[in-house]
Structures are given as C-alpha cells and as structure tokens.
Chain A
Amino acid sequence: MEKKKKVIEVEINKEFCKACSYCVDSCPKECLVMGEELNSTGYNFPVFVNQDDCTGCGACGFLCPDIAIEVYEVL
C-alpha cells in the first residue's frame, strides 16, 4: 500500500525576514533558496521552490531567528 504523501505548506513572512539564510542552510532537501526580490526593509528573502521534496521536518521554521517562517501540514 502506498503511503499517502504529506502536503506541506511553508509560509514565509517576507517583511520579518532579515536574509540570514539559516533556513536555506538547514533544509536537508534544499527546498528553499534565497530570492532576488527585496522586502520593505531592503532584505532579500527565501523562496519555497521544491514543494515535492519537502518532508515537513520543520527545520527552517525552527531555526529562523525572526519567526518569519511557519511550516504547516495540510490535513
């Protein structure tokens, strides 16, 4: 029987981001990359690019010092 794949949503609050890129570093599946766009305080913020590989480990959300990332599992 095939295990049902979890659907994960990663919400990035771009205004809170300060571009430390800890989330990009900590993602084991390289699902996040730093984007080119700037927020209102002049920082570029990460973008969630690889939705299929995401396992929902939550590492990016745990290690974000600015509480800008929230990881949800869609039920």
Chain B
Amino acid sequence: MVEKALISGNEAIGYGAIYADCTHYFGYPITPQNELIEFMAREFPELGRTFVQAESEFASINMVCGAALTGVRAMTSTASTAFSLMQEGISGIASMELPCVIVDVQRGGPGAGSTQHSQMDYLLATRCAHGGYKNIVLAPFSAQEGFELTQLAFYLADKYRIHVILLSDGLLGQMYESVELKKLEFPPLPGKDWAMKGCAAHNYERTFIHNAPGIIGSYYDFMKRSKEKYERIKEEEVRYETYEIEDADIVLVSYGSTARAAMEAMYRARKEGIKAGLFRPITLWPFPREAINKMTEDKKNFLVVEDCMGQMIEDVELAVEGNAVINLVGSMDRNLPTGSGMILSKKVLEKIKSFG
C-alpha cells in the first residue's frame, strides 16, 4: 500500500533520501532548511543510518566528500548563504568525480539576505564555482516532486559519478502538502569498484583518488572524460514539463515554487480567453534549451517567472536566440517589497495581459 502523508517540502526531500537508501547525512542548521536536518536527526539514527551535525558547511560538504569516497550514498542540505560556503567543497567533489546529493533550499541574498524564500541561487547552482565543472541541477515544484526527484538525484549521481544539486526554495520547503510515499524503480547501476575501503578490498592495490587533476596524472584525460560525461548528460537527461502549451500564444517559463503561481495565473488567463501556456524546466542543468528553441517557431511571447532579479531569464534568452520577446516577472513584482513578500498569480496575470 502506498503511504500518504501531509509533510513539508523539506521533509519530503528527507523521505526521498530514505527511500533512495541514502545512508549518510551531514548537515548544519540554517533557515529555511532546518526542518530537513531535524528530520534527518530524528529518522536516520532510528533506521541505523548515519547522521552527523557538522560544525560548518565547510565541514559538512567535506564529510559528504569523504563518505562518498567510500562508496555510500551521502547527502547534505543547506540554504543560500551557506551554499556559497560549500562551493569550495563542491568543486573538490567535482575534481574527484564523486556521486552525492546536495540540497539547496534557497533563501534571500546576497549576504545574509533574508531568511525567507527566494530563487536567487539559480546562476550559482547551474554555473558552479571555480574550475568550470558542471553538475546536474534538479528543481522540484511540489513536495511530491521533491520526494521523487531526491530519489532520481541519487540514481543520476551514481549513474554518471557526478554530484547532483537539488534546488528547492524556502517556500517549497516550509509548506505542507499531501505526498504519496512510494519507492521509485530505476534501471540497474554500474558497481562502485572505484570506492575507497582500504587496499585489502582491492587485492592490496592502492586506490588513490585526489582533487588535483592538474598536478597529479593527466589533466587532459580528466578534461576529456568530464567533457564526454557532460555531453552525455546533456543528451540523455534533459527533463521538463509543459502545460497547455500546444495552442499557447504566451509561454510562461518558470521553475520551483514560482511555477505554482505561474500555473495558477496561466489557468486564470485561459478562463479569460488568453491562450497562455507553461513551460517548466525540471533539470536546470542541462537546461532544456532545444525544447524552448523549438517553441519559438510559432510562439513569440515568453514570460519568465522567477523570484529574483533575473537569472534563469539568461538561459531562456540563449535558448530563444533572439526569435521572441522575453519579459520577466521577478522579485521586484512581489506583493510586498520585503523578505516575506512573494510572487502571486495576480501579478503574473497582469503581466500576461500586458502582452496582449
């Protein structure tokens, strides 16, 4: 029987990790992801899994790195300001090519910003830190999807030996929704024979995994391998959803929690006779660039809805290649100009109407 529960978006990710057989969680409290670390502290020890509260995000991401080195499924979670702290560690993980999952429950920035929701980490998550590496970025838009994408994240991480970022936001994390708890089935994965467990496990041949591909070994080989991996992911893992897109004149592009407001606005517009549709990227990297580009053949009006001053809009601009008009509903269009203000469907509807 499928269990149904009323849980927060943060807890849904926690349940996702449990259902994905994640055994090691390392974290540090920060609003608005606290429900997740608290959930893990409650549930993981009871299941005989490992929970560690680190002293900083530097430490938690490096603990994830260490645990991933040994071949276990490891994850951490954080929010914007501390996601910045993790960048060095994430870059290290990229150089070691380790599979793990990092959850970023976005809050306002820059600096300490606000403790409330926002979508201001898009560029950081998709463009990454120093070194020009790439990572898969998954963006859920409901608690149910947060639960499912967490399971997918672990699968993709192991499939490609890459770290996956789950880009949630404060709004999504703190609201409660009914979630059907069901384990997802995935195709079989390659074994982790590279994992470090002491050389006795490898017939006394040492395993040496290091974070300096440009000092030790061949830099060229590393770059070639990475490039091939990224190309393969771009080819196979692009995910998005469309709603009422076939006959739409105006296409809303939105991800995460704002996609919910955008969707409501889209249905309201349809009721008023405006042909609007919604395009929702699920993978922010690889970005569904071709799918958007294809739409520009007959759709010339795009409205990007995101709770920041314009980040995903850059990817949409690249995708439409100048063949369409793009407008933005951003954090300037919040109902209140404060941390707790948010983008409501009313404002999105107004913008849709301004196109006509």
A touches B (Cβ under 8 A): no
Chain B interface (Cβ within 8 Å of chain A)?
A: none
Chain A interface (Cβ within 8 Å of chain B)?
A: none
